[in-house]
Structure 1
Amino acid sequence: MGARIALFTRDLRIHDNPLLSGPGEVVPLFVLDPRLAGLSPNRQRFLHQSLADLRGNLRERGADLVVREGDPAAETVRLAREVDASAVVVAGDVTDYAQRRERRLRDERLPVRVTPGVTVLPPGAVRPGGGADSYRVFTPYFKAWERAAWRAPAATPGKIAMPAGIAPGNLPETPAGDSPGALPGGETEARRRLRDWSLRMSRYDEEHDNLAADHTSRLSADLRFGCLSPLEVAVAAKSDDSPGAHAYLRQLAWRDFYYQVTAAFPGISTVAMRPAADTGWRYDDDALRHWQDGLTGVPIVDAGMRQLRAEGWMHNRARLITAAFLTKHLGIDWRAGLKWFFRWLIDGDVPNNSGNWQWTAGTGNDTRPYRRFNPIRQAQRFDPEGVYVRRYVPELRGVDGVAVHQPWRLPEPVRRGLHYPGPLESQRDEAVWLRD
C-alpha cells in the first residue's frame, strides 16, 4: 500500500493539523469544486490566497499541494487509485456537503480516517443528560465545554515525505473579489493576525461591542477556512487569565456550539428550529433591496450593511442590529438575510451564519425568541459619538451629536415595513425610533 491522501477541506494550514500527523508518505490534496465557485467572490478570493500560501508552506517542507478540479469525492478516489493510497484522511465536518463527501468516499471502499481540527471540541464530545444528542441552550454547553478534556495540538512537521512523480496541478488565478477592503487569506497572514490579537485580547470584554473601536479579533475568516486552528486559538485564550480572554473564549465556544447544533439539525440553513415561530413573514423585494444596499434610512443599519459590502465582514454588534432590523422590524423572512450574508461574508459558514440568523429571528436557539433590539438605542450605546456611522455612511459625515443616529429619508418600502405587527419586548424602546 502507498501513501495516505491528506484531503484538505477547511483546514488550510500546517500548524496543528492532524492530517499531517503520523509516519509514512503523505499526498496533500485540495479539490476545487466548480459547483461552489460562484457562491461568494469574496470567499473564493480568500480561498485561492489560502491555497497559494499552503502550497508554499508545504514546499518549504519538501512536499507540495496537489490541486484537482471537479467532484471532490471522485477526484480523491481517482488520485487514491493512482498512488495506491493506504487511506484517505479528512477533517470531520458537520454540513450536508461534508457528510455527503465522506459517505461517497466510504462507498468506494476506501479506508477513510476522520480527524478533528475544524472545531475545538468535536460535535458530540459533550452531551446533555437525558439522552439528548446536542445542547439546545448555550450556557450549559459552555460549562461542559470548558470542563472537557481537549486534545493535544498536533506537532508542526519540519519535513513532509511525499511520493515522487505526482503532477501537482496549477492553482487557479485568484479572483478579484467584490469587497476592496477584504482581509487577505492564508496561514501566514492569519498567524500574523493571531500574534497581533494576543496582545489586545485582554481588553476584549470591555471593548468588543464598541463599533468605532472595532476591538475584535478579525480571525473569523481564518477560522472558517482553517488557516488557524481553533484549538490553538482557544488554548491561547485559556492560558490568559484576563477577563477579556475569558470573554473571547466564550465566543469560540459559541462557534463550537453551533457546530454541534448543526450536526443534530442539518437543515439549519433552511428549516426553522422553532417551527411555531417561523410564520407571518413579509416578502417585500423593495424593502429587502433597501436593506441589502444600506439604504434603509436608519443610520446604524445602513452603516453595517455598507461595511459588509466594503470589507466582506461586519462587526459582530452590527450583525445583530442589521439582522434584527430585517426580521423583527421589517418582518422579512430570515432566510433572505442569511442568503445575503452568505453572498458577502468571507467568514460565512453554515453552522454560525445560519445559527445566528435563527437566533436573531427567534426561530432558533434563543431562550427569549421574542426579543427585539431598538437600533437607535443600540447605536447610542455602542457608537455614542457616531464614528462608526460616519465611517460607512458618508452622507452623514457632517452630522454631529445625537442627530447622526436618527432615522432620515426613510424610503416608502422601509416605512411601510416598520409597522409590521409582531410581539414586542419593549413598546417603549420601539416608540423612541418609530416616531419619525
Structure 2
Amino acid sequence: MSARTAVVLFTRDLRVHDHPALATACAAFDRVVPLYVLDPTLADRSPNRTRFLHQSLAELREALRRRGGDLVVRRGDPVAETIRLAREVGAEGVGLSADVSRYARRRERRLRAECDRHRLFLRLFPGLTIAEPGALRPGGGDHYRVFSPYHRAWAAADRRAELAAPRRVTLPDGVSPGRLPALPKGESPGAAVGGESVGQRRLTRWLPTLDRYDDIHDDMAGDETSRLSPYLRFGCLSPLAVANRAGGTEGPFVRQLCWRDFYYQVTAAFPDISTSAYRRGATEGWRYDADALAAWTEGRTGMPIVDAGMRQMRAEGWMHNRARLITAGYLTKVLGLDWRPGVAVFFRWLLDGDVANNSGNWQWVAGTGNDSRPYRSLNPVRQAERYDPDGGYVRRWVPELASVAGKAVHQPWRLPDDVRRKLDYPPPLEVPGADPAWMR
C-alpha cells in the first residue's frame, strides 16, 4: 500500500503547538508537506510585519526540522503554488486554517475550485480564534452585533481540545524546501522579534502579572500589558492555548481575547469592515485635511498624549491599547477626519495590524461600528490625566516635554509664554469651527 500524503498550507498560523491542521494531517497521513507561499500580493504592505513574518518563518522551519520535516517555501500565487506542489508529491488533499478577511475567503474559494478540478480534497480547520467565527449565533441573526451577549455565549460555549505539537513530521522524498527570504529591515527600531518560542517566552514571563491585569492594563507609563498581540496576529501563539494558560473563560485579560474573537465573527459576516461603515445609517460627514493627517501620523499634533502614542507606534511597531483609543478618537472626533486613512496608517506600522481587530476597533471609536453609543467622544486631556497621571508616558515618547513636571505635560499650551517657546513643541492643531472647551 502506497504512502498517503497531504499538504498543510500555513498562512497566519506560524506554529507547531495547537495547530489543528498540522496535527490532524500528521496523525492521518504518512507524509505531510508543510507549505508557506510568499504571496507578492501581500508584500511590502508593512516593512515591520514583513520582518516579523520572516523571523517567524525561520523559527517555524527550525521547529519542523527538529521533528524530521521542513517548511517548504514557494513564491507566487498561493493557490497555484499549492496545487503545483500537491500534484508534485502525489498528495490526496490540502489542509488550511480558516480565516475571515475578504482576501482569505477569496483565496479559499479559489483553492477549493482548483482542488475540485484536480480531484484533491480541501479541509478547513479552526485555530486562528478560540470560538470559530459563525459558531455562535444569536436568535434570528447570522452574527452578534453587540459584544456583551456575544461574551456571555462565548464564555458558556464548549471548546475544542488543545493539541500537542506533532512528535514527527515526515516529508516525501525529493521535495526541495526552497530558500527563506533574506531578513528585511523594518521601519521601527524597537519592534519585537517574531517566532513561536519568542511568543511562548513572553507569555511565560508575563503570566505572573495576570492577577493584576485589571489594575495595570491601562497604566500607560507602567507598560505592563502582555504585548502578545503580534504573536496572536501571526499565529505564533494559539489563542486557545493562551486562554487556557490565563484561566480559561473568566477574567479581564481573557475578556480581551473574547473581543478578538468578536471582531473575527463580525468580519466574517461583514468583510468590508476596512472600507465601509458597519453601522447602518452611520453619519460620515468627515472633513479632509492632508496637513492635519500628516501631523497626526508623524506625532506632531501639539496634543502630547496623541503624539506620544503615534511616536511609540513608529518606534516599536506597537502602541499601548489606551493610546490607540485616544489617538483614533482624536483623529475622528476632534480633528473630524475620516477613520479610513487612520486604519491605513495603523496597518502600515503595527506588527499586530489585521483586518478584523484593527478595522473593528477603528470603527468602534469612529462611531460607525459595533458601539451602542456611537456619538461618545474621548477627551484626550482627561484620558491623559487619568491613565498617565504623572506624565511618564508622554515624557518618554515626546522628549521635547521632558522638562515639564507633573500633569502640566498634558497641556503645555497653558504654560507661560516664555516657557512654552523654549519647549520647541507645536501648539495644538486648529480645527475649523471647533471650540474645544477642554483646551481653555
Which category of TM-score, normalised to the shorter sequence, fits these structures?
over 0.9
The match for 1:125 among 135, 139, 154 is 135
* Structure 1 match to 2:438: 432
* Structure 2 match to 1:135: 144
1:217 & 1:60 partners in 2: Cα distance? 29
Report deviation, 1:23.
2.5
Matches within 5 A, 1:411-430: 414-417=429-432, 419-420=433-434, 430=436
Report deviation, 1:339.
0.4
* Structure 1 match to 2:422: none
Does residue 333 of structure 1 match 2:315? no
2:360 & 2:431 partners in 1: Cα distance? 28
* Structure 2 match to 1:87: 93
The match for 1:306 among 306, 311, 331 is 311
**SS of equivalent residue, structure 1 residue 164:** coil
* Structure 1 match to 2:195: 186
User: Is the Cα–Cα contact under 8 Å of residues 68 and 170 in structure 2 kept in the other structure?
Assistant: yes
Aligned length: 419
The match for 1:215 among 210, 224, 232 is 224
* CA deviation map 1:163-207 (0-9, x unaligned): 121000000001110000000000010110111121111111111
Matches within 5 A, 1:278-293: 278-293=283-298
2:333 & 2:355 partners in 1: Cα distance? 22
Structure 1 residue runs of 4+, over 6 Å off?
none
The match for 1:206 among 192, 205, 215 is 215
Change (3 A) 1:239 1:149: closer
Report deviation, 1:155.
2.0
User: Is the Cα–Cα contact under 8 Å of residues 4 and 27 in structure 1 kept in the other structure?
Assistant: yes
Report deviation, 1:416.
2.6
**SS of equivalent residue, structure 1 residue 238:** coil
Report % sequence identity: 62
Matches within 5 A, 1:5-404: 5-21=7-23, 22-24=27-29, 25-108=31-114, 109=116, 110-130=120-140, 132-239=141-248, 246-404=251-409
**SS of equivalent residue, structure 1 residue 402:** helix
1:125 & 1:238 partners in 2: Cα distance? 22
Q: What letter corresponds to residue 416 of structure 1 in structure 2?
A: V
Q: What letter corresponds to residue 246 of structure 1 in structure 2?
A: G
2:259 & 2:160 partners in 1: Cα distance? 19
Q: What letter corresponds to residue 94 of structure 1 in structure 2?
A: V
1:259 & 1:416 partners in 2: Cα distance? 35
1:95 & 1:227 partners in 2: Cα distance? 19
* Structure 1 match to 2:416: none
User: Is the Cα–Cα contact under 8 Å of residues 2 and 83 in structure 1 kept in the other structure?
Assistant: no
* CA deviation map 1:193-231 (0-9, x unaligned): 111121111111111000001121100000000000000
User: Is the Cα–Cα contact under 8 Å of residues 248 and 254 in structure 2 kept in the other structure?
Assistant: no
**SS of equivalent residue, structure 1 residue 369:** coil
Q: What letter corresponds to residue 131 of structure 2 in structure 1?
A: L
Report deviation, 1:279.
1.9
2:85 & 2:248 partners in 1: Cα distance? 42
2:4 & 2:80 partners in 1: Cα distance? 19
Report deviation, 1:20.
1.6
Report deviation, 1:432.
2.1
2:72 & 2:149 partners in 1: Cα distance? 43
User: Is the Cα–Cα contact under 8 Å of residues 5 and 89 in structure 2 kept in the other structure?
Assistant: yes
1:143 & 1:95 partners in 2: Cα distance? 25
2:92 & 2:412 partners in 1: Cα distance? 63
Report deviation, 1:262.
0.3
Q: What letter corresponds to residue 270 of structure 1 in structure 2?
A: T
* CA deviation map 1:135-179 (0-9, x unaligned): 000000000000000000112111112212100000000111000
**SS of equivalent residue, structure 1 residue 415:** coil
2:283 & 2:242 partners in 1: Cα distance? 36
* CA deviation map 1:287-335 (0-9, x unaligned): 0000001000010000000000000000000000000000000000000
1:239 & 1:257 partners in 2: Cα distance? 17
1:128 & 1:416 partners in 2: Cα distance? 42
